[in-house]
Structure 1
């Protein structure tokens, strides 16, 4: 494909973006839902070796959930007291929520079938330590079960935990293990999903990349358009199983009585787009009155744009972007590579939806697009100028590559 085709595709993408703005005005069930999440991640343990990924995992999950409409209460590298304070804040906010979600990354253990999360100041020197230093998972689940309809729990807390061995040997506590135990699900509301990074009583990998295998897969699938949470977990399981060479298999316990879709879009809804790229009047008098009021219409359009911008993925680092300097994208597939390096490699996704794999797989990006630094800068400037219509959409090298290009252009394509 030549550069002219890229320009034509960019115009098409802008048009698609305008349609996406209008689509926001079609209410779905998700728009009316109240969603509240608690996200915790602990890495810097004071009495055990630090873990590389949990805080990064939790921060990335918090951002992803905000983009899916959740009010997020979060905490990173918290002591026991700080953890209790954060859970108390969550308990106040979550009451009556349509969807209550809990994500934890860090050390956890089970003792005689009960699961505990470990704050960073946990030492576990004797049997009483559990009561005063650890946080029972059941305690968190009770807080998110008050008058809530749907409960989603994700525990990336099965990493190898030396404190479990210390507790078992020094304190003589029977049944102290690193892996977590199966959690029984109580009836209530529309049900519960509990997802573990690995099977009960097994140990999960922290991972050598930017995120653990479980969190990487969860981030990739939890917000997929019109994909149910149960199907998303099937995809997560497949990804983790493959990434760990069949050594780690996530496990879920599900009692949902309704389909849960966190990113729901009604593709069959009628859509009328006005000249400004927002819906024109269609049908009821309230809509016509809102359109007749320029101030109201402008506010609605700006709100729609802001919502769309929240769906644009963020880079893992705020550092300036340079053409030939490695970039921390926040995508393990391309992290640590520069723009110059990536455009000489192979595409990860089809450059045009539906294009036969034989046309693009095995090709090199710079040859296909006739990319050089100058032409790529022109394309990057288009991304920066049309962020809403372009940056949310897939790119042959991934969406975050496109976000990096826009940032590179904003810095003068240096």
Structure 2
């Protein structure tokens, strides 16, 4: 049986403004290594619009989650093997090993293959010389590693599978991949497919496929386990494709895996320098902090002085205009802003070409419920609004905290 894509053989960090925040992050205790591959410019099949964009964005996201990333885009078979060899050396002994692939793939007799851009597949023998067995990569990921995470967005329509089926005389060619049996070892494995076995996934009309778009939105969410993140990914993809595509997850993890773990109530300790002003250089609180001989409390109070004030003390409502004190967003409501364009990168260091001009809600799938949960974190620990950049700026997070204090109305 030959099939392309959709069901691969399944199985098998913090200084803020120079004040050190004692945040609990799995990255500080774990060594994480990822292999990210994306192929779009196929030489013997029509080009795919999004896989390279998908892979590049995922590589940046994973770097932000403290992964050592080995990546390759539009690689030939030889280049792919060289990249995998580099990954194999780096991944040995890692706490978390991760594979992300976007592009064409196929299965033959229950075995899955990734297709480099120079694959022609004129006959079944071509598989050994032109394609890359997924099992081969999984073996490299399994050497002395604890947790293995595999994400396969390889479910586009694949004309090469049809060519191979015809020339090799193999029946049952379709746009789907086979399941991967999960092997025992370490703390377990999660395998996520863009769609159900033997089904075709959408490449997407924007810069990312529906699966990768949802994965980018959820894989680094604060204090969310990878299994819960994938539940959210599944829901987002199902909704975005009007029920036509349902990601398929196979998981056997013996421990909760949280890629962005933060203790929002962690104390602060004094750093070596004073904090710079917030990103918009706007008015900040000037009230003197209460006297204290406790260094941690002094540091906390110093950081609180950097939290910008809103221009108005009026209550915050989801769909009412807000006077933020920032001309770029003044007079707009939370509901309006989450459907607009981001002002800052959603991930530190992410290239502007990836996020500029995109709609915030297209990546984050923000709604009142999700925003309220985020807002409650800011309300519970007010200095958390300064810890990470926000696509809509710090004042937006201050408004969210006030909205939560009012009951998220």
TM-score (norm 2): 0.67
Task: Extract unaligned runs of 5+ from structure 1.
Answer: 1-16, 283-308, 319-326, 336-347, 358-387, 400-414
Give the whole-Å Cα distance in 2 for the aligned partners of 1:181 and 1:277.
53
Q: Secondary structure at the match of 1:177?
A: coil
> Cα deviations across residues 329-356 of structure 1 (Å, max 9, x unaligned)?
3558579xxxxxxxxxxxx777xx759x
Per the alignment, residue 350 of structure 2 pairs with: 314
Q: CA deviation at 1:113?
A: 1.1
5 Å-filtered alignment, 1:216-255, equals 216-255=213-252
User: Which residue among 255, 259, 262 is the counterpart of 2:256?
Assistant: 259
Give the whole-Å Cα distance in 2 for the aligned partners of 1:61 and 1:160.
22
Q: Residue 19 and residue 390 in structure 1: after superposition, are their counterparts in 2 closer, same or farther (change >3 A)?
A: closer
Any conservation in 1 of the 2:24–2:261 contact (CA below 8 Å)? Answer: no
Give the whole-Å Cα distance in 2 for the aligned partners of 1:49 and 1:164.
13
Q: How many residues align?
A: 303
Q: Secondary structure at the match of 2:149?
A: strand
Give the whole-Å Cα distance in 2 for the aligned partners of 1:178 and 1:398.
47
Any conservation in 2 of the 1:42–1:77 contact (CA below 8 Å)? Answer: yes
Per the alignment, residue 382 of structure 1 pairs with: none
Larger deviation: 51-60 or 166-175? 166-175
Q: Residue 315 and residue 398 in structure 1: after superposition, are their counterparts in 2 closer, same or farther (change >3 A)?
A: farther
Task: Extract unaligned runs of 5+ from structure 2.
Answer: 1-14, 277-293, 297-344, 376-384, 397-409
Q: CA deviation at 1:179?
A: 1.1
Give the whole-Å Cα distance in 2 for the aligned partners of 1:281 and 1:125.
70
Q: Secondary structure at the match of 1:255?
A: strand
User: Which residue among 185, 198, 201 is the counterpart of 1:188?
Assistant: 185
Any conservation in 2 of the 1:111–1:177 contact (CA below 8 Å)? Answer: no
* Structure 2 residue 129 is matched with structure 1 residue 124: no
Give the whole-Å Cα distance in 2 for the aligned partners of 1:45 and 1:126.
18
Q: Residue 46 and residue 103 in structure 1: after superposition, are their counterparts in 2 closer, same or farther (change >3 A)?
A: same
Q: CA deviation at 1:20?
A: 9.7
> Cα deviations across residues 346-379 of structure 1 (Å, max 9, x unaligned)?
xx777xx759x9xxxxxxxxxxxxxxxxxxxxxx
Any conservation in 2 of the 1:108–1:178 contact (CA below 8 Å)? Answer: no
Per the alignment, residue 329 of structure 1 pairs with: 357
Q: CA deviation at 1:395?
A: 2.2
Q: CA deviation at 1:266?
A: 1.4
* Structure 2 residue 58 is matched with structure 1 residue 22: no
* Structure 2 residue 238 is matched with structure 1 residue 212: no
Q: Comparing both structures, which one devotes a greater share of its residues to helix? A: 1
Any conservation in 2 of the 1:148–1:189 contact (CA below 8 Å)? Answer: yes
Give the whole-Å Cα distance in 2 for the aligned partners of 1:252 and 1:175.
24
Q: CA deviation at 1:32?
A: 1.6
Q: CA deviation at 1:158?
A: 1.0
Give the whole-Å Cα distance in 2 for the aligned partners of 1:240 and 1:263.
22
Q: Residue 329 and residue 115 in structure 1: after superposition, are their counterparts in 2 closer, same or farther (change >3 A)?
A: same
